[in-house]
Amino acid sequence: MKAFLKKLKKNPYMIAGLIITGLIVLMVIVGLFWMPYEPTKMNASEKLQGISVKHIMGTDNMGRDVFSRVMYGSRITLLIALGTVTIGVVLGTIIGALTGYFGGILDEVVMRIIDAMFAFPSILLALVIVSVFGTGWAQLLMSLGIAFIPSYARIVRGEVLRCKGMDYVESARLQGVSQFRMIFVHILPNIKGVLASSILIGFNNAVLAEAGLSYLGVGSQPPYASLGKMLSDAQQYMFTVPSYCLCPGIVIVLIVLGFSFLGEGIRRWK
Amino acid sequence: MEIILDVTDLHIEFHDGDTPTIAVDDFDLMLGKGEIVGIVGESGSGKSMSALAIAGLLNRGSMKKTGRIMFNGDDLLTIDRSKLRTYQGDEISIIFQEPMTSLNPVKKIGWQVEESLYIHHPEIDKKTRKQKAIDMLKDVGLTNAEEVYYMYPHELSGGMRQRVMIAAAMIGGPQILIADEPTTALDVTVQAQIVELLKKLNKEMGTSIIFISHDLSLVNQLCERVIVMQKGSIVESGKTADIFKAPKHPYTQRLIAAIPKIDIGE
Amino acid sequence: MKYIIKKFFSMIITLVVVSFCVFLAFNVIPGDPALRKLGTEASPELIAQVRHEMGLDDPLIVRYFNWFTSFIHGDMGTSYNYNVPVAGMVLNKVPITLTMAIMSFVLTILVSIPLGIFTAKYENGFIDKAITMINQIIMAIPPFFSGIIITFIFGMIFKLFTPGGFVSYTEDFGGFLRYLIFPSVAIALPKIAMTVKMLRGSLIDEAAKDYTRTAFSRGNNTNGVLYRHVLKNAMIPVITFLGMLLADMVAGSIVIEQVFSIPGISRILLSSISNRDYPVVEAIIMGVAAIVIIINLLVDIIYRIIDPRIEITD
């Protein structure tokens, strides 16, 4: 513990990351049990108020409490980002491990498709899926998840190819280990380090992509809103009530910043 | 014999960790014009560090250097950086152990061979420069010099790359060539060729050579005089023939004993 | 040359794969296009007739082939909603989106390369540390949020441009470019931060390599080593990265057009998505995909030019 604190002291990125991420997570957890106001409750007499003791982030154009909506919106944003990365990592790992391990024609075909997807901006891919399957948070989750598969598939495939040639895999093969066991017990555990750092980056990209798509109006539908959607609603009131727009925006920035500081902190952890 | 380089009391220590590490201590070297001196020792003996100091390539802030390296009336340790640069590549050149990584991978061979001329003799026009580079490439034994001129390092073999490095080092006609383990990364047959080449260039161009190696038999083939180093200090120095006949220091005796017998017969 | 031909074929294959996926996505998954065109009340005879006219009786691969060839010849189909050719609707919007992407790209290069070199040169100095920190923060700001802030500060407070007052390139080209500067900055900001970080790291890695010692030994000063030797090596990975960024910027402009109310491709795309006007969506997606794929080919070629080793590794 003492050694941990000593290391922490030398690592401002880690400290900042832990504090920011801690506060965001705390806000979301508290929001599960208690919020100052019902996030969807409108109040015609309290429209577009600035920051006050009663509404610490002010109110929106329908008189709803922005802080409560931010609490709720952060929950949606984090859940979608978590889901996106989970889908991307799980499917990407399976595809990457199988193609990398078995190679051959399967590898050729799948990697061509993966390359094409990779070259294709993820926001467009998500828009294609949303336009075919309709808007909503489930579609958003699916489309972002699929858009995230190629990058993980590529990373895992590369690592599996690297591990395949190593002595310990060779000796396991000579001992007659089954192929399934070889991939999941002998190879995959060795690439978790590489995967871990790309998961943090992926998480940030997912938050940003979700916010962008919600901003375009293809994510969660009203009256509930994720942070991106709140921003697009608030944009026209930027001049009259800056807090309405700035608060959700700053929270998005803090979420991403917290994780990127954590990532940087882990990288510098020695 | 005219002395062109005089190193006295060279002392180099690092201040990276908690206690300073001494890399070179009390190093002395006098180099005569046209002379070839060998420096022998294992890795970590301080021989490469001394060479880098003479070449003016030690400039890390966490390092303390004392003593004197006199060349042309200047002390290379304290001389102004811009003055030092006028010597580097023109009067004092260096070649390294790894000819692959020591060459810039994305520049053509000709460009790299010419670079010293470009820096030190801007008055020479492009065409003459190219001609000189091709002549130099031929001098180091690359018969297809015109083709090599337009090639990239990865297209050449290890021995050819080291010849290119030598050509680039010698193009300015330097007074001193420092060869820092130039043959270690090469095949045995290629090693002998490179040693022969250095001998030839020394004779033809009159360049003095400091030849650094851990291989005493190569030093024996090339150098009139040798300095034996261990753990940063000189343990023995003198005429190569004398030291081979009667090594005084136990370390030198061990080094000589370690040479495979077939080489001694040469 | 062999390399370029090989890459060219690989580009064609990618294009075919992408187009086939797009074709499947919009012509097969959503159901029967004839039914959608006519509505569910239409008589079975009429549907059959329209299906025949639209070529829906043919096997899938024939339908794809017909679709693809007519697409290449500029026939991108007819909009369901407006009943006009898609090509006419989309093509005059392309210059707007493309101009904005290129402007952000140029901006990114102009700012990030000098800044990357500077931070690497003064590694761990005060300014380097400050820029590294600011970079982390800028990377965390989504472009649409910085777009909103830019609109607020430069549009509303300093009145350097009129938010929403987009000028078409057919009317006043100078005014058009001037309006696009601000959205371009919004797109470029995070990309600049990423490129600076990338270039800085790449320069520092390269500067530690043996050949820089050789360069110093020939009498180069720091700038000589940096600009004559290290920079070209360090740019190799950065060029690939910049290529990906350009593709990303074309896509990223979709969101930014919305922030700055620019009537580019994004507006048609989004309204077509919500109206399920598939031929329009299809055309735009294919267009962007083609641009992205061509950019990737160009990056590969440039990469080949600056890195002579590629034939060996490829």
Instruction: Name which of B210, B202, B257 is nearest B31 in CA terms.
Output: B210
Average pLDDT, rounded, for chain B: 89
3-class secondary structure, A36: coil
pLDDT in tens, B222-251: 999 999 999 889 999 999 988 888 888 888
Q: Does residue C220 share a domain with residue C80?
A: no
**What are the residue boundaries of the structural domains of chain B, listed by start?**
3-100+175-257
Q: What is the pLDDT of residues A127-178, one digit of tens each?
A: 888 777 777 778 888 888 988 898 899 888 888 888 877 777 778 777 877 7
Same domain, yes or no, for C208 and C172?
A: yes
**Residue C45: domain span:** 2-86
Chain B interface test: which of C214, C233, C304, C307 (most B C-beta within 10 Å): C214
**Confidence at residue C49, expressed as pLDDT on a 0 to 100 scale:** 80
User: Is A256 in Cβ contact with C140 (below 8 Å)?
Assistant: yes
Chain C hits for B154, Cβ within 8 Å: 308-309, 312
Is residue C179 located within the same domain as residue C215? Answer: yes
Residue B252 and residue B237: Cα distance in Å, rounded?
Answer: 10
- The domain tally of chain C equals 2
pLDDT for the residue numbered B212: 93
- Three-state DSSP class for C78? strand
**H/E element holding C185?**
helix C173-207
In C, minimum Cα distance to A116 occurs at: C14
Please judge whether C255 and A216 are an interchain contact, meaning their C-beta atoms are less than 8 angstroms apart.
yes
pLDDT tens digit sequence for B116-136: 999 999 999 999 999 999 999
Q: How far apart are CA B251 and CA B257, in angstroms?
A: 10
In a domain, C240, yes or no: yes
Q: Distance, in angstroms, between C241 CA and closest chain B CA? A: 19
- Its ipTM equals 0.91
User: Does the beta-carbon distance from C217 to B90 stay under 8 Å?
Assistant: no
C192 & C168 share domain: yes
pLDDT digit of tens for each residue in chain C (314 aa)? 777 788 888 888 888 888 888 888 887 777 666 776 676 677 778 878 877 777 777 788 888 888 888 888 878 888 878 888 888 888 888 889 889 999 999 999 999 999 999 999 998 899 999 999 999 999 999 999 999 999 888 888 888 888 777 888 888 888 888 899 999 999 999 999 999 999 999 999 999 999 999 999 999 999 999 999 999 999 988 988 898 888 888 878 888 998 998 988 888 888 888 787 888 888 888 888 888 888 888 888 888 788 877 654 43
In this structure, are C139 and C53 located in the same domain?
Answer: no
Evaluate whether residue C207 is within a structural domain: yes
CA-nearest residue to C214 within chain B is B102
The reply to whether C103 and C237 lie within a common domain is yes
| Burial of B100 (C-beta count, 10 Å sphere; 0-12/13-18/19+) | middle
Contact A131 C272 (CB under 8 A): yes
CB contact under 8 A, B88 and C218: yes
Q: Kindly state whether residue C284 falls inside one of the protein's structural domains.
A: no
Is the same domain home to C82 and C147? no
C82 and C98: one domain?
no
* Same domain (yes/no): C117, C219: yes
DSSP string, B184-227: TTS-HHHHHHHHHHHHHHHHHH--EEEEEES-HHHHHHH-SEEE
Q: Tell me the CATH number for domain B3-100+175-257.
A: 3.40.50.300
Residues C210, C98 share a domain: yes
For residues C180 and C77, membership in a common domain is answered with no
Could you tell me which chains touch chain A, where touching means 3 or more CB pairs under 8 A? C
CA distance A127 to A216: 10
Q: How far is B116 from chain C (nearest CA, A)?
A: 5
Nearest residue of C to residue A249, measured between CA atoms? C145
Judge: C142–A211 Cβ closer than 8 Å, yes or no.
yes
The predicted-structure confidence for B144-196, as pLDDT tens digits, reads as follows 999 999 999 999 998 999 999 999 999 999 999 999 998 888 888 888 889 99
Give the pLDDT confidence score for residue B262 in this predicted structure.
55
- Tell me, yes or no, whether C137 lies in a domain: yes
Domains in chain A (CATH in brackets) are 10-36+64-268 (1.10.3720.10)
pLDDT of residue C294: 86
pLDDT of residue B266: 42
The beta-strand segments (E) located in chain C are: none
Amino acid B120: pLDDT: 95
**B179 at interface of C, judged by CB pairs closer than 8 A:** no
Q: What is the pLDDT along chain A (270 residues), one digit of tens a residue?
A: 788 888 888 888 899 999 999 999 999 999 899 888 888 777 878 777 878 878 888 888 888 888 999 999 999 889 999 999 999 999 999 999 888 888 888 888 888 788 777 777 778 878 888 777 777 778 888 888 988 898 899 888 888 888 877 777 778 777 877 777 877 777 888 787 778 778 888 899 999 988 888 888 877 666 677 888 888 888 888 888 888 889 999 999 999 999 999 888 888 876
- Based on the fold, state whether residues C59 and C133 are members of the same structural domain: no
| B93 Cβ under 8 Å from any chain C Cβ | yes
Mean pLDDT of all residues in B204-224: 90
CATH number at residue C185: 1.10.3720.10
Contact C217 B88 (CB under 8 A): yes
H/E run at residue A57: none
DSSP string, chain B: --EEEEEEEEEEEE-SSSS-EEEEEEEEEEEETT-EEEEE--TTSSHHHHHHHHTT----TTEEEEEEEEETTEETTTS-HHHHHHHBTTTEEEE-S-HHHHS-TTS-HHHHHHHHHHHH-TTS-HHHHHHHHHHHHHHTT-TTHHHHHT--GGGS-HHHHHHHHHHHHHTT--SEEEEESTTTTS-HHHHHHHHHHHHHHHHHH--EEEEEES-HHHHHHH-SEEEEEETTEEEEEEEHHHHHHS--SHHHHHHHHTS-HHHHT-
Q: What is the pTM of this model?
A: 0.87
